[in-house]
């Protein structure tokens, strides 16, 4: 990651270990080739000074529950925001672009959002759906596990929230700051910062000394325009051995809501110790703990995204939505190697019928940037091409996007991967389709996803160790005649094609395009 690029000083990465300095300007070189080159080249064009509205174009909330939707917009500051067509009870702050309040009016509201600065005005429709469904686009945010694991603290979480804002990621639609395991007291750790009473006299869960005030932490995250998440398990202990929710589900849901949390990841782990034994586990056994927590969360006066984590047992994609899950892990834990990434990512084929607005397959968190699962961090071991593959595939899959790196030490290459609005739009498309694999030939694969506007997002992947040509014939994409093809990473039109579209794809790399009908 700190590698220098010969003869290309403008493409140098900021050394890993340095805090990203605001205002650092790196020239994004124009690329003539049709695939990302082997070096760590930043393909994402720098956002312009004029306003551009990004992030989710559809947002669901429940009547009467507090709303927080931060309008994401790049462009020069100061910027002012306005919205027309909001239901009673909601208001958009003209300076921060935050939509807050609560409304009891059910229905679909076509809100016209505007962002204005000295360079111009941008407008966009925001579909606000007040009803029973939330999480209408895959959650985008950060989670502490892949970097800090058991070394997480409230300070690190606050620093991640600060960095989400300072790096500008918030202006591309990134929203959640999620604490994973280790905010609770540990079962038997000798580390005093993990010790203490498990629960108070009423049975309410108590955080460990590293998290002195959970409400203050959630308030802090909200004050930055972001949402807060945390983690528990239906068993007595979390996977890391901390106190979990067994027989305290309702009390825990009440605590999460009272503190102001917006997202719960609920991890199976020690539920094995209390789940029915002595017979083959049934589907009902697998569903039960999630139904219990779903009901507890539903009773709270707050929208809380419910993320199931049980590694795909019992084909969870077939019933995750029915037990109230907004997303569910489909596999075991990811790590920062090509083997792990490709095995998990490319095994998602066939899950596409089960994804849609409000319910998403989750092939685990992102492994770009500085990761490490503990106090010692290292730059991801994925090559630049593998990282382009990772983000492209996760966007095509409509997967939750949870950054897993140390946010305070983001380098420019990683930032480029996470701030490409045309790529992120593939993930956040309101239609909510998950890409299907439509070609598998040798090491080449084509994955395609229908977008709401009738266009198709198409990834040409090369799983092999040698550069290869990958073809996307119109017949498998359901297209006929001439179409316009746009390179999404470079945000550049490639011209008109009468099928097929084919490209030379580097080892473990990707070419990600969007194919549009020609205007008639
Ligand atoms: C695992 C889970 C990880 C992380 C970890 C915490 O079971 O898959 O994502 O949450 O537990 O202990």
357-375: pLDDT as tens digits: 999 999 999 999 999 999 9
d(C-alpha 467, C-alpha 465), whole Å? 7
| Shortest-distance Cα residue to atom 3 of ligand 1 | 333
> pLDDT tens digits, residue range 32-48?
345 545 679 999 999 99
Quickly state the pLDDT bin for 15 (edges 50, 70, 90).
very low
Report pLDDT for 148.
98
Residue to substitute in 186, 267, 344, 364 for testing ligand 1 pocket (most ligand atoms within 8 angstroms of CB): 267
Q: Which atom of ligand 1 is nearest to the CA of 240?
A: 12
CATH 3.40.50.720 fits 140-428, yes or no: no
Asked whether 238 lines ligand 1 (CB < 6 A), one says yes
Q: What is the pTM of this model?
A: 0.93
Is 1 within 8 Å of 13 (Cβ atoms)?
yes
Is 333 assigned a catalytic role?
yes
Of 499 and 13, more confident: 499
Q: What's the fold here for domain 52-130?
A: Immunoglobulin-like (2.60.40)
Domain ranges of the chain: 52-130, 140-428, 436-517
Residue to substitute in 142, 179, 239 for testing ligand 1 pocket (most ligand atoms within 8 angstroms of CB): 239
Architecture of domain 436-517: Sandwich (2.60)
Report pLDDT for 280.
79
Quickly state the pLDDT bin for 1 (edges 50, 70, 90).
very low
Q: Which atom of ligand 1 is nearest to the CA of 238?
A: 12
| Shortest-distance Cα residue to atom 5 of ligand 1 | 239
Asked whether 267 lines ligand 1 (CB < 6 A), one says yes
Q: How far is the CA of 145 from the centre of ligand 1 (A)?
A: 7
Tokens representing 397 are: 């899959």
> pLDDT tens digits, residue range 73-101?
999 999 999 999 999 999 999 999 999 99
**Residue 414, SS3 per DSSP:** helix
Whether 436-517 and 52-130 are alike in CATH topology: the answer is: yes
Tokens representing 473 are: 């014939």
Q: Which atom of ligand 1 is nearest to the CA of 332?
A: 8
Instruction: Identify the CA nearest to 62 among candidates 256, 262, 303, 306.
Output: 303
Q: Which atom of ligand 1 is nearest to the CA of 365?
A: 9
Is 267 assigned a catalytic role?
yes
Please list, residue by residue across 49-58, b when 16 or more beta carbons sit within 10 angstroms of its beta carbon and e when fewer do.
eebbbbbbbb
DSSP for 209-275? TTSS-HHHHHHHHHHTT-EEEEEE-SSSB-TTSBB--TT-HHHHHHHHHHHT--EEEEE-TTHHHHS
Mean pLDDT of the chain: 93
């Amino acid at each position: 990651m700190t590698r220098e690029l010969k003869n290309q000083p403008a493409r140098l990465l900021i050394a890993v270990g340095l805090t990203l300095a605001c205002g650092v300007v790196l020239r994004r070189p124009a690329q003539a080739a049709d695939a990302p080159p082997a070096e760590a080249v930043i393909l994402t064009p720098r956002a312009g000074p004029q306003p551009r509205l990004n992030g989710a174009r559809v947002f669901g909330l429940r009547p009467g529950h507090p709303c927080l939707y931060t309008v994401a917009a790049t462009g020069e500051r100061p910027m002012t925001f306005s919205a027309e067509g909001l239901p009673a009870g909601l208001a958009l702050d003209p300076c921060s672009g935050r939509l807050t309040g609560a409304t009891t009016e059910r229905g679909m509201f076509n809100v016209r959002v505007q962002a204005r600065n000295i360079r111009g005005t941008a407008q966009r429709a925001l579909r606000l759906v007040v009803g029973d469904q939330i999480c209408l686009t895959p959650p985008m945010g950060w989670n502490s596990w892949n970097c800090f694991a058991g070394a997480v603290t409230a300070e690190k979480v606050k620093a991640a929230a600060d960095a989400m804002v300072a790096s500008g990621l918030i202006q591309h639609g990134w929203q959640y700051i999620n604490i994973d395991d280790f905010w609770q007291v540990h079962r038997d750790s000798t580390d005093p910062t993990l010790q203490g009473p498990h629960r108070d006299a009423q049975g309410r869960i108590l955080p460990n000394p590293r998290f002195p005030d959970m409400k203050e932490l959630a308030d802090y995250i909200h004050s930055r325009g972001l949402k807060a998440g945390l983690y528990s398990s239906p068993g007595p202990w979390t996977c890391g051995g901390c106190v979990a929710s067994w027989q305290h589900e309702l009390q825990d849901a009440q605590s999460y809501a009272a503190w102001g949390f917006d997202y719960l990841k609920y991890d199976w782990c020690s539920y094995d110790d209390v789940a029915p034994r002595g017979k083959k586990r049934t589907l009902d056994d697998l569903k039960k703990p999630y139904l219990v927590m779903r009901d507890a969360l539903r009773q709270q006066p707050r929208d809380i995204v419910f993320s199931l984590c049980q590694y795909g047992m019992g084909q969870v994609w077939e019933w995750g939505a029915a037990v109230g899950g907004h997303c569910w892990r489909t596999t075991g834990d990811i790590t920062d190697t090509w083997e792990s990434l490709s095995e998990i990512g490319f095994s998602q084929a066939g899950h596409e019928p089960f994804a849609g607005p409000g319910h998403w397959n989750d092939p685990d968190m992102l492994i770009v940037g500085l990761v490490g699962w503990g106090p010692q961090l290292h730059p991801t071991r994925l090559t630049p091409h593998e990282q382009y593959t990772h983000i492209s595939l996760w966007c095509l899959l409509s997967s939750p996007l949870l950054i897993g790196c140390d946010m305070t030490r983001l380098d420019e290459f990683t930032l480029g991967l996470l701030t490409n609005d045309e790529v992120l739009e593939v993930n956040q498309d309101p239609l909510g389709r998950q890409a299907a694999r439509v070609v598998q030939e040798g090491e080449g694969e084509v994955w395609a996803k229908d977008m709401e506007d009738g266009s198709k997002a198409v990834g040409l992947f090369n799983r092999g160790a040698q550069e290869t040509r990958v073809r996307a014939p119109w017949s498998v994409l359901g297209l006929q005649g001439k179409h316009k093809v746009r390179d999404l990473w470079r945000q550049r039109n490639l011209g008109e094609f009468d099928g097929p579209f084919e490209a030379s794809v580097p080892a473990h790399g990707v070419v990600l395009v969007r194919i549009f009908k020609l205007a008639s």
